[in-house]
Chains A and B, each alone.
Chain A
């Protein structure tokens, strides 16, 4: 993916003003039966939550991220999307932290299943970043495209609508450019927007990514002022992407990382990082591609009703690798950290034909010990002991 380019498509329009356009867009979604999910400020972070109007967005807010650091503050301007990604990703909605797979009732001579569980509403994600769309594509390979597709994921995925946003304010922890997953939204979107904001104007340039995207856009266009994107508009959007790309300082070479990690499984750096890692599972919780889950069979107190529940799990827990319920294969932090990183960056390639990392940088910001996987890979590559 060439950074700094935007595909020039015929259906590329500029909506004015940007805030009204978003407000109308949310209204269109609600009338069409979607629950709108997007960024909101809450508890000192920009999280994902329901949006009912543009005022729910982090208007004028921006963020600052570094290893073990996440801060948000109000910049004071009218911007709608002047921040990078927060701790949550659309994964939370497409593959919820806890879901009931089925329930069953004890009957004479056995048991029978209840009717299927209620499914969640269709979601319209507003403000998704390129790295998040890339993360969803990675999860698709795991949960949808194999021989046993997860039915609730497939359903949620089919119904989900994505309004992507091209990043203008990357965090210091971002490295999507190295991973080829951004910053421009180029795939997986129904609509992709670029916020064009300066003293004279606040507009939203929108391009179409799918038929239903075109339909929704047409609906919004009937409610706000709009014009076709001019060459100047396209240049302005292109410049935003270029500047974002230039601002990105962290780097990871996905192919080199894959090769160097798998050939250094006993490198002393693993001991070094084990001395810092708390095995707290934060990285796996915030990662948009992590898919480990635990399946639990639970019963009511009277033993007559049983449920199978699936919930997020993490390879950083001791229980993740227990054998026969006695002892864990990965009994120390060193082996668990190694498992996480070598899976994410190396063996994921063997399993799914691509890297498991999309360069969103969340794991760096949200690690309380400030462990930076780009730095760990670089350290191992530098003192390569193959």
Chain B
């Protein structure tokens, strides 16, 4: 095989600090050259693999001979990607002996031309040097979808658009290739395929709806992209934010304190608090909403424990607007006080 030296990029770098028991390094090479001082490439598989199937495995093997009159030590320093593994078949190479470096790339669904590299080091008693070998390829991808999952936070009651994107590398997108749209989040059943004004090879699958009451929700977006036979599934995790926020976030009674003031303020335009509801009416907790001050947007919630606490537990205070919508949730924890001896 013709030596594909032109494909073999070499960079020689300063050596990292050596362990104390390593031979002293008296000279560090800092220059570029077409082959390493210690190793000469004598055989190599092609660097360029062209278009390859996603999920396939590429293997590139390079064979070197030790040109020095002494033993050299070889090791792989790094690879550019977790998809790439590399190893030498031996770690010690005698004079005029051969050593093989094998690089293995598991092809991921990343569009466009890809290059993975392996950095390795050759060292001997007075110096060391670094080499690089590359594997080039282009995954065969009809299209890609993104993101792989949607995590959104949005105010309760607001209108929200959930977007998923389909990208056809090098191809103008056509709407009819996407069909059977569905979304299992409540209130987000209506989907549409939209184009991007200045992105001719991208389409967006959009679902719009109103954000449900405060809490955490999950669902899935599904759609079919021809000619694939399986639908695309994109999990959706939606955190619906309360329209008001509380500082502190809740009330804790674990000592002599009997009253806790919680400051409430709107986090977004919304109605005023007008009522409160205790989820566990048996809890030894009472709460009062102090009268509104027209000059301030902030409201105060007074939370009190009733009597001496003899049990532990928790409850939640719901702060509501006049229509009964939840504006903010206030958790309350209470701990039994130590008994007198």
A and B from one complex: no
Residues of B within 8 A of A (CB): none
